[in-house]
Structure 1
């Protein structure tokens, strides 16, 4: 009896298992179909591609013009790993040593993030700049480091000078100049000279790492470019009371009681207060900038900078790629909506103080994705930033660079996604071309392909009816007078 019952039940169990498996398979198929066709007109990049793209974010100035002393700017938004003949740097990172050294004088070098390394030591410290060597008493091994917060990017790091921390011995050179304050070494190699990289790779990490010294710190700058230092000298004076030393070319041996090599990176254009000394935030960074450049306006409003009821709109202009093709019509449309309109094009020759004051006077700022939007650091609290996202599935890029930082900066963020009919790409490719129909397939070809197709060759002709709508929404989101 039991045997016969068991024989009749077995097929039912097998049948139930097949049904359950079929249902699970159907759910999986439906999930894939939904992710592919329902959530977005294009397939989203897979996690591996997304990580590759996030680590590839770079910016370039709109015009790669030469600076004083013939300095050439880096290209914006090149790929990590670069193209062409770029040679990756060999980056040597030594794990942190815990409890090493009987008197605690041994330096500790450790990665503060995947992008930044910090080395710190106290005691008998001698810096021989021309040899890129730091002699430290009481250690028994060498350490090598590059003081620039972009360790994940070998192309950038190839342009950063390496420093060696060496044990001091009888051959260590004697002190030529003695200092009573700590030294802080950083670099403006890499991609410095581009406004986005100036802030995200150098200035924000520098503020995060040195504000607690309250000015009592000596900056030693590697790769010093005089025009670059002059551009930000007012900000540097918020962090140090002393003249910046060109450590690569200084022939004196400088001696310090303490040294820190390399700034700490938290996130693009941002600071994590929970991990920062004194729990400072990027708002404190903005406050330091306001003091540096004498910016009087703390908050935006619908009343505008003059309080006459006309909020100011600043249109960030570009010369080459990602231009507004109907910029004048945009300005006329905004003026008809009772905006006080300004159009400005920041470049490498723009006076920082003058442009900072202009941005600080704006209630709404709009521009196509690019380094010029970095000027949002000068916007007053409550101002609206509208980032125009070029056609081509670039939301991941625009999110990391400007959307995410805006909230921490007390800036109201909006984006405008360019439709194909507004893009000059429609004039360059047939409608069935992959560039127009499947952007993420282009993404998978690598950063150079993405950059060439969607950043280098695309201009925007804004739909003026949609432009009116987004301006009205921005106006509604401004604080009242």
Structure 2
């Protein structure tokens, strides 16, 4: 009897064991998924914030309708949407494990269109449209009539598609098909051009120097360099002061005046049209994806020619070869100011530098400031759009980015540290210590802003920006600053390379 009972209970025990084993296995799998996808966001701040940065980084700008001075605000911003998307993806993955279905989740469809089509995404940030034939641009109606064209397309010619805040202020254009039998027919040409047209926008965050280069000028160079000047620029959202500022660069890329496409009453006809630029990365170009292996160094050469910059290389001997390298301190009037700027200049002068202090703004003549930066061997500044002027530094020069207190290394790395290497600029961080920050005067040492910056990060971008970018100034420790300058001197080439013939 007992033997019979044991024989009937044995399958149940085996079944229970299988269930328990399956549950333990599921828990292990869930733990792995959680460790991989759901780790504490600021346990490893660099990794997590880097993901957020890659999805959207911007030097924060006021509403494009604001005044010119307001357009120059230069704080960075990061969208939180990617983090939400990552959370949703994690939830889906965990649900799939719990269900035990063992099926692979369907891969999301790529937003990129095949290159054989008229419009296609060149990256998550940029869409480019190309067509040839009978092309009639009716700019004030935001229409481009094209024959032949299979279907209508709508596009915004600004390289920041991942950022809805920027794209909300970029005018949309419609590529509209027509044929000889179209009714009503397209408008007749009033201006005929024998060269291709290239349409782009300086809406979005243009007017902020960082975005001028990241979103517009570097993609513009990458997309139009191959035309060798035989291309007509059609600019949407044209700001006259902005065009004037960068006219020397435009003259390197086009042999023709820039057209205000939004407000031009003509019907411009072209044999070919390109709408929108190709984007590779922030402040940079990927030579492996560029025709002829073009790089950001080629872009810098173009800038040197545009602004007639004499120095190709920095030197420990300085621009004049007199053994006095030049130190340029980028000043700021608003937040993140140097509170002991004069003392810093005196320290640099005592070490043998020729020292200049300058603050670029909307009213600064671009050519004049470009020559000042090109004369520098070492440039120092607190994180902000003014550091974008590193595009004018000679090769081998040293950029010292002063990183405000608050765990902002992830932000400063992507905006300027990584691009500097591609631009042949030596790079150094100067990380502000708490004792060097004005935040110590605003909060007790036990306050979360000082004691736990990553807890502030968890509260979102607005909290981070307010605490560490908007309300912080710095007073550099002069001993640390002198040590930094000594290291910068050691990085400089002993002598400048000769200028090309």
Establish whether TM, by shorter chain, passes 0.5. Answer: yes
Match of 2:59 in 1: 59
Whole-Å separation in 2 of the counterparts to 1:351 and 1:311 = 24
* Contact preservation (8 Å) 1:219, 1:240: yes
* Contact preservation (8 Å) 1:234, 1:293: yes
* Contact preservation (8 Å) 2:202, 2:236: yes
Q: Deviations over 1:377-413 (max 9, x none)?
A: 0000100000000011111110100000001100000
Do structure 1's residue 393 and structure 2's residue 392 form an aligned pair?
no
Match of 2:249 in 1: 235
Task: Give the deviation of 1:464 after TM superposition.
Answer: 0.5
Task: Give the deviation of 1:305 after TM superposition.
Answer: 1.1
Task: Give the deviation of 1:446 after TM superposition.
Answer: 1.3
Q: Structure 1 residues 98 and 262 mapped into 2: Cα distance closer, same or farther (>3 Å)?
A: closer
* Contact preservation (8 Å) 2:336, 2:382: yes
Match of 1:453 in 2: 467
- Equivalent position to 1:148, from 151, 158, 164: 158
Q: Structure 1 residues 71 and 464 mapped into 2: Cα distance closer, same or farther (>3 Å)?
A: closer
* Contact preservation (8 Å) 1:61, 1:347: no
* Contact preservation (8 Å) 1:44, 1:440: no
Q: Structure 1 residues 380 and 325 mapped into 2: Cα distance closer, same or farther (>3 Å)?
A: same
Q: Deviations over 1:283-328 (max 9, x none)?
A: 0000000000000111110111111101100000000100011111
Matches within 5 A, 1:225-374: 225-374=239-388
Task: Give the deviation of 1:139 after TM superposition.
Answer: 2.0
Aligned to 1:341, the other structure's residue is in SS state strand
Whole-Å separation in 1 of the counterparts to 2:177 and 2:75 = 40
Do structure 1's residue 108 and structure 2's residue 118 form an aligned pair?
yes
Q: Deviations over 1:101-147 (max 9, x none)?
A: xxxxxx52111111111011111111100110111112231111000
Q: Deviations over 1:241-280 (max 9, x none)?
A: 0010000011111111111100011001000111112211
Task: Give the deviation of 1:45 after TM superposition.
Answer: 2.6
Whole-Å separation in 2 of the counterparts to 1:163 and 1:476 = 52
Whole-Å separation in 2 of the counterparts to 1:166 and 1:412 = 49
Task: Give the deviation of 1:51 after TM superposition.
Answer: 2.4
Do structure 1's residue 128 and structure 2's residue 142 form an aligned pair?
no
Task: Give the deviation of 1:439 after TM superposition.
Answer: 1.4
Gapped regions of structure 2 (runs ≥ 5): 1-20, 82-109, 496-501
Q: Structure 1 residues 60 and 353 mapped into 2: Cα distance closer, same or farther (>3 Å)?
A: farther
Q: Structure 1 residues 414 and 75 mapped into 2: Cα distance closer, same or farther (>3 Å)?
A: closer
Q: Structure 1 residues 43 and 438 mapped into 2: Cα distance closer, same or farther (>3 Å)?
A: farther
* Contact preservation (8 Å) 1:49, 1:444: no
Gapped regions of structure 1 (runs ≥ 5): 1-16, 37-41, 83-92, 100-106
* Contact preservation (8 Å) 2:61, 2:71: no
Task: Give the deviation of 1:73 after TM superposition.
Answer: 4.3
Do structure 1's residue 472 and structure 2's residue 471 form an aligned pair?
no
Task: Give the deviation of 1:430 after TM superposition.
Answer: 1.3
Q: CA RMSD in A?
A: 2.9
Q: TM-score, structure 1 length as denominator? A: 0.85
Aligned to 2:187, the other structure's residue is in SS state coil
Matches within 5 A, 1:159-174: 159-168=169-178, 169-171=182-184, 172-174=186-188
Match of 1:11 in 2: none
Task: Give the deviation of 1:437 after TM superposition.
Answer: 1.7
Q: Structure 1 residues 415 and 61 mapped into 2: Cα distance closer, same or farther (>3 Å)?
A: farther
Matches within 5 A, 1:198-209: 198-209=212-223
Match of 2:9 in 1: none
* Contact preservation (8 Å) 1:148, 1:189: yes
Matches within 5 A, 1:381-460: 381-460=395-474
- Which range moves more in the overlay, 283-292 or 44-53? 44-53
* Contact preservation (8 Å) 1:95, 1:109: no
Whole-Å separation in 1 of the counterparts to 2:434 and 2:72 = 31
Moved over 4 A (4+): 46-49, 64-68, 70-75
Q: Structure 1 residues 97 and 367 mapped into 2: Cα distance closer, same or farther (>3 Å)?
A: closer
Match of 2:129 in 1: 119
* Contact preservation (8 Å) 1:53, 1:447: no
Whole-Å separation in 1 of the counterparts to 2:275 and 2:436 = 48
Task: Give the deviation of 1:346 after TM superposition.
Answer: 0.5
